[in-house]
Amino acid sequence: MKILLILLCLTAGTTAYAQTTGTVTATAILPDAAAMSASVQFPPDTILPPSRGAKVVADSLHYLLPEVTVKAATTKGPEKIITHPVQEIGRGYLLRHNSTGFVQTLASLPGIASMDIGAGFSKPVIRGLGFNRVAVVDRGIVQQNQQWGADHGLEIDQYDVDHVRIHKGPMSLYYGSDAMGGVIEIMPPRLPENDLFWGDATLIGKSNNGLLGTSVMASLKRGRFFYRARATVQSYADFRIPADTIDYLSWKMPVQGRRMKNTAGREANLSFSAAYRGKQFESGLHVSDIHGKNGFFPGAHGIPSLSRLEPDGSTRNVEMPYATSNHFKLISNNKWRLSPGAAIDLDLGFQQNLREELSPFHTHYSNQLPPHTDPDLELRFRLRTYSANVRLLLDEEKRWSKTFGLSTEVQHNRVGGYSFLLPDFERYSGGAFWLNRVEVTEHFQLTGGMRYDVGRLRVAEYYDDVLAEYLALQGVAKEEIDFYAQRSAALRSSFGDFSGSVGFAWMPSDDHTLKMNVGKSFRYPGANELASNGLHHGAFRHEQGNSALQPERGYQLDLDYRLRGKQFRFTMNPFLGWFSNYIYLEPTGSWSILPHAGQIYRYNQAEAWMAGGELIAEWLPDERWHVSSALEYVYNRNGRDHYPLPFSPPTVITSDVTYTGVGQGPLISYSLQLEHRGVMAQDRIAKNELRTPGTSLWNLSAHLHWRIYGRRVVVDFQIDNLFDRAFLNHLSFYRRLNAPEPGRNGQVIVRVPF
């Protein structure tokens, strides 16, 4: 029982370290079951090696932990009321599969894709749904930044994440409007039971773009109080691609030294957490400040110009055009236990997201003069968000448990710069929901719930005097001038809608689990979809909102079957969805009157279908070997023009072989993995999209635990794109330039826990 419980904790992605004798609590989220907590008494200077095989773990524990005391208890958590596919990963997985950013690391999971903007920014896509259709929830608060833009990233420090839940499928019932495609839920860190001081120092190096970084964390548990601080700093150069030229339309652009000029960047992140754990009251405070600066390839911003692609003598400097982002976040989590089985949760949050795009002032109109202040500031977006969620949990320990909740959110967005794309706006939203879980038998449970949300959006009017004067000089009629110069009309929109779901979870035996969930979801149209009106650089098009848009409404069926045998495991997650009025960006066939703007693309709505899913097979022939293969597939169709929906990820088949063993001498344990990623060609494309050829990529990685001069050292080494293949990412910001993704990249992450 002792060894089995430790193995479950390790395979759930939780690694516990203890420098002095004490009790450390590791929590394993068992598949389709309740959470299990284990209090383990560790001797001094012990380390738990990661392993996939029971015998290796048992042998290692026998060698390292001669005396282990385990106290296990079954607890009930939020996962008990979830009947759709959920995947949980821990810090160990995030570090072993580390990529450029948090979202790119998650893209190694089946069903998750990354919409990349060079080597600096990326945003998540779940089963083909992205932008404002996927919510990132950090400690109970939905992250709000400028996620509507294809060139806007997600400001999260991936080294400050310990535990993540990936929810595939509609989650509007739980988190409101922006969760209809799924949720990436970042959980607070788990705390040890006994007093303890611990931390780690991490060094990061990557070869492709010369990335150098460090992340340092220190934590302290004293009595009922807990404190944690982390600082992360990274700097990287222009990334390399396996190509000498790229092209956009008829332009042939050289790539000097095979480096994408001005794609360097910097990142500096700080965070602090404090928590109090009492018997009747718990409270936590989390503060984070994320800074990023990332250059844009000059050929993808504004009018392509060969002169702008000449080498500037440095691969690490960031020149214009570039973007800066700063995301400040303050979160307060509170819990009151009223009686056995009853509690109140209160989450409060404040966020400020500031994004600026700078480019040398270039007049689009002959009469346009540079601004007196910040003349090179092209666009600025400042978004402030205030959030509050309260939940009443009743009868948590009984067969019929209930949850009632209220949530509200207020947003203020202000814009600036010499270009115009999006007007000022305010958004107010709130919702009330009710959830039930009924344990019909020990092996069968039903869940269901309903939610109603209301929202209001206020968009400011903007009349472009400079454009009006320019058009008048061109001899344009007064009526046409007023039509184009009115870039944004005053808009007052109110929305209200229901969402709900019903499902079951059935465990006929320890090896088999079947879940089914049917849900209705919705999404309010964003301010960009209703009121944007301007040139979007990099896309080379005039994007225009549509004030007549109605909230998206969708229905989705999700199935989750899992087989967990001793040597063979199988997971199947099919889904089927239908939207009555899916919002998409459609080419109008009309050319914009704005200079250099190209065709007008206007947001529209249509019926849409989508289907697909993930298949995962695992084989464990013995205690040391692990073989797995995963297939992810998405099919969708626009019911109006019968084209696929835009930004649809291609079919991907990922296979890997892993060997885990116990080392000798200073090497405590190790694991080696060879991975093949087969990406199919994406020929099912929306209007104005480019077909993307398939590719075959090989990756190699090693995970090593050492004891060097009495200290524990954990080394993660990997080589991505082992054979330096040139391949195109269908979701990349640079796809329109036919620019390959970064070539071969060697990466080393060294962690020294203390």
Residue range 1-24, pLDDT digits in tens: 443 343 334 333 333 333 333 333
What letters, b where the CB count within 10 A reaches 16 and e where it falls short, cover 21-33? Answer: ebbbbbbbbebbe
Contact 54, 623 (CB under 8 A): yes
User: Counting every residue, how long is the chain?
Assistant: 754
Verify cis geometry, omega within 30 degrees of 0, for the bond prior to 321.
yes
C-alpha to C-alpha distance for 32 and 509, rounded to whole angstroms: 11
Query: 442 vs 45, 49, 84, 503, CA distance in Å?
Result: 41, 35, 19, 16
* H or E element in which residue 422 lies: none
**Residue for token digits 């998405």?**
634
C-alpha to C-alpha distance for 194 and 40, rounded to whole angstroms: 11
Query: Smallest Cα–Cα separation from 383: which of 132, 87, 562?
Result: 132
Cβ neighbour number for residue 279 with a 10 Å cutoff: 7
> Looking at residue 731, what DSSP letter applies?
T
Strand pairing category for 541-544 and 599-619: parallel
Q: What is the Cβ-side half-sphere exposure of residue 61, based on CA atoms within 13 angstroms? A: 23
- Both tokens of 646, joined, read 């835009």
Query: Which residues are within 8 A (CB) of 202 and not within 5 positions of it... i.e. 6 or more apart?
Result: 159, 214, 215, 216, 217, 749, 750, 751, 752
C-alpha to C-alpha distance for 544 and 532, rounded to whole angstroms: 5
Cβ neighbour number for residue 682 with a 10 Å cutoff: 21
Residues of the chain with pLDDT under 70: 1-82, 118-120, 150-151, 249, 300-305, 363-364, 537-540
Q: What is the Cβ-side half-sphere exposure of residue 524, based on CA atoms within 13 angstroms? A: 21
DSSP-derived 3-state class of residue 171: coil
φ/ψ bin of 405: left (φ > 0), alpha (ψ from -120 to 50), beta (otherwise): beta
Query: Smallest Cα–Cα separation from 721: which of 739, 698, 741, 695?
Result: 698
* H or E element in which residue 528 lies: helix 527-531
Ranges of beta strands (E only) in 508-551 are 512-523, 533-536, 541-544
Q: What is the model's pLDDT at position 303?
A: 62
C-alpha to C-alpha distance for 326 and 338, rounded to whole angstroms: 39
- Both tokens of 655, joined, read 């296979």
Rg (CA), the chain: 26
Query: Which residues are within 8 A (CB) of 655 and not within 5 positions of it... i.e. 6 or more apart?
Result: 627, 628, 629, 630, 675, 676, 678
C-alpha to C-alpha distance for 666 and 672, rounded to whole angstroms: 17
Name residue 313's amino acid.
Answer: G
Compute φ and ψ for 256, nearest 5 degrees.
Answer: -65, 125
Query: Smallest Cα–Cα separation from 322: which of 478, 37, 121, 73?
Result: 121
DSSP-derived 3-state class of residue 535: strand
Contact 584, 646 (CB under 8 A): yes
- Both tokens of 203, joined, read 């060094």
C-alpha to C-alpha distance for 78 and 28, rounded to whole angstroms: 14
Query: 487 vs 90, 100, 467, 482, 704, CA distance in Å?
Result: 47, 37, 10, 9, 58
* H or E element in which residue 147 lies: none
Contact 360, 396 (CB under 8 A): no
C-alpha to C-alpha distance for 184 and 175, rounded to whole angstroms: 11
Q: What is the model's pLDDT at position 364?
A: 67
Question: Which domains are present in the chain?
Answer: 1-75 (no CATH), 76-753 (2.40.170.20)
